[in-house]
Structure 1
Amino acid sequence: MKDQKTLYKEAMQVLKDTSRTFYLPITFLKNDLKISVAAAYLAMRAIDEIEDHGDLSNEVKFDLLMATSELLKAPFDNEKYTTLLAPYSAQLPEVTMRLADWLVFCPEGSRMIVQNATSEMSYGMAKWAKANWQVHTREDLDEYTYYVAGLVGTMLSDLWEWGAGIQTDRELAIGYGRGLQAVNILRNQQEDMDERGVSFVPDGWSRDDLFAYAEENLAKGDLYMKELNKRTILLFCRLPLALAHKTLKAMQEGREKMTRAEVEQTVEEVQAD
């Protein structure tokens, strides 16, 4: 077992290598909350890499994600996890293969918060992989975005309560996560269809309807910010939300995404406010 100092250094490097959106906000957090959120991101990225893998069949994804979900419900058995992934180890990235390390890295007091949320997410990802991510109704979209992003919001709220005594509204937390995911869906809409044959747009919806869905949930995210009274936590949550708002605006103007200069300006604005 690696010592915590080495594990911290390696975890933060993997985090930096795998996340353009969340690495900087996580550095705003302090002490155990910083480590807890970093561990949570890595654990959830571990299963996300299985869900998104281009060379694994949906049946294999379902089996791996369901089994991982079960392993996360108890003290994590890395031997069983390694055996589960062994046939695919050459295809899966480091962040996935090292799930056990990210859980060890997580402070003991918050570990089950992270495990429970990741377990539920893994279950939801398995369910949607089996359904080939075919969204037909608003209820389908709500369910999918809950599993892959709304859950992040509720987990963060549990961590804020654990680490800082801050209580937040569950539905606003879910809306915060959903809003960020809806912007991702809009940004990747054509790519998802071209490369995967997948559409997250409900039957009969126009792109404008999807924009309205994103705006509705980002508005809940704005209300969620008002419940956070600790500056480091507020900074962490506000940056992805601000980037999502501006990305949505850019797409509504017909652009694919924000410019690098706009991103840098947003980071400066959030930190200065």
Structure 2
Amino acid sequence: MSEKVFPKDAMRVLKETSRTFYIPITFLQKDLKHTVAAAYLVFRAIDEIEDHEEVSNDLKYTILMQVSELFKHPFNEDEYLKILGPIKEKMPEVTLRLGEWLKACPKGSQSIVIKATSEMAFGMAKWAKANWNIHTREDLDDYTYYVAGLVGVMLSDLWEWDSGVKTDRDFAISYGRGLQAVNILRNQQEDLAERGVSFVPDGWTRTQLFEYAEKNLAKADEYVKLIKKRSILLFCRLPLALAHKSLKAMQGGREKMTRAEVEQTVEEIQNS
């Protein structure tokens, strides 16, 4: 597949798999846009392994640890597909085509994406083995770091690589954590009913989970204030605005924002 056609195909799959990040990614400029799109597809690829209902936690652990190790060396597509062997038939397109998403990554940024993926796969493996049993705030911080805070760190590395934009690492982690905490709140009942998993520390009420989300989103607001480049600022502000509004909707007793509210928020950010 030629390089010209491929990013379009990557964007198609991205649109089908990521409601939150497809639009903000389109705000970015060429190299960053292709890197962040590819990174999200790679993350989604391993996320599908972590989430799959028909794969045992022990097998998830084994496969994700092997993927983590694989990413510590130059990427080997054959080796990756061999690792997927026992679950290959169950995996969606986004997971099977991970090697292609990496190839779509501009050369200079590929190492940043690979390093983050290796660390994320390790964290996912660890938490799959523990059946996502979150007991303490530290557990919640650890889990949300691996699945989301780490993305914030990678994005910060990419902003600096592409545009020389420097940000605060702790705020970057809170940016990812805050978005993940909103997801946990939104899916709390579903996770428990369908997967038998609770990401809520022992003894915590839903109010404390709201406070956790709010504290991290407040730091995320500080993170965004440090960004002066408009395209990157727009990218960061949209998911953050949606997270804030989703939190308010849930605090008001609604399950989620309406489609009209989402569209209005996109418009507000684009015109700001």
Q: Is the structural similarity TM-score above 0.5? A: yes
- Output the amino acid matched with 1:225: V
1:56-88 Cα distance to aligned partner (Å, 9 max, x none): 000111011100011111110110111111232
2:119 aligned residue = 120
**1:6-25 matches, cutoff 5 A:** 6-25=5-24
Rounded Cα–Cα distance in structure 2 between residues aligned with 1:19 and 1:121 = 18
Alpha-carbon distance, 1:135 to partner: 0.2
1:139-183 Cα distance to aligned partner (Å, 9 max, x none): 000000000000000000000000000111000000000000000
Alpha-carbon distance, 1:9 to partner: 1.8
1:12-42 Cα distance to aligned partner (Å, 9 max, x none): 1110111111000000000100011001100
Alpha-carbon distance, 1:6 to partner: 2.4
Is residue 32 of structure 1 aligned with residue 35 of structure 2?
no
Once structures 1 and 2 are overlaid, which stretch shifts more, 82-91 or 102-111? 82-91
**1:233-248 matches, cutoff 5 A:** 233-248=232-247
- Output the amino acid matched with 1:70: E
Alpha-carbon distance, 1:200 to partner: 0.6
1:192 aligned residue = 191
Equivalent residue of 2:228, what SS?
Answer: coil
2:170 aligned residue = 171
Rounded Cα–Cα distance in structure 2 between residues aligned with 1:54 and 1:204 = 27
TM-score after normalising by structure 2: 0.99
Alpha-carbon distance, 1:8 to partner: 1.2
TM-score after normalising by structure 1: 0.99
- Output the amino acid matched with 1:73: K
Rounded Cα–Cα distance in structure 2 between residues aligned with 1:142 and 1:42 = 24
1:252 aligned residue = 251
1:3 aligned residue = 2
Structure 2: segments with no counterpart, 5+ residues: none
Rounded Cα–Cα distance in structure 2 between residues aligned with 1:45 and 1:220 = 25
Rounded Cα–Cα distance in structure 2 between residues aligned with 1:175 and 1:231 = 21
2:67 aligned residue = 68
Once structures 1 and 2 are overlaid, which stretch shifts more, 73-82 or 209-218? 73-82
Is residue 210 of structure 1 aligned with residue 213 of structure 2?
no
- Output the amino acid matched with 2:129: K
**1:95-110 matches, cutoff 5 A:** 95-110=94-109
Rounded Cα–Cα distance in structure 2 between residues aligned with 1:96 and 1:178 = 24
Equivalent residue of 2:115, what SS?
Answer: helix
**1:75-86 matches, cutoff 5 A:** 75-86=74-85
Equivalent residue of 1:132, what SS?
Answer: coil
- Output the amino acid matched with 1:137: T
The percentage of counterpart residues that share the same residue type is 69
Rounded Cα–Cα distance in structure 2 between residues aligned with 1:72 and 1:105 = 16
Moved over 2 A (4+): none
- Output the amino acid matched with 2:151: V
Rounded Cα–Cα distance in structure 1 between residues aligned with 2:83 and 2:124 = 17
Alpha-carbon distance, 1:90 to partner: 1.5
- Output the amino acid matched with 1:9: K
- Output the amino acid matched with 1:188: N
Once structures 1 and 2 are overlaid, which stretch shifts more, 6-15 or 174-183? 6-15
1:153 aligned residue = 152
Equivalent residue of 2:202, what SS?
Answer: coil
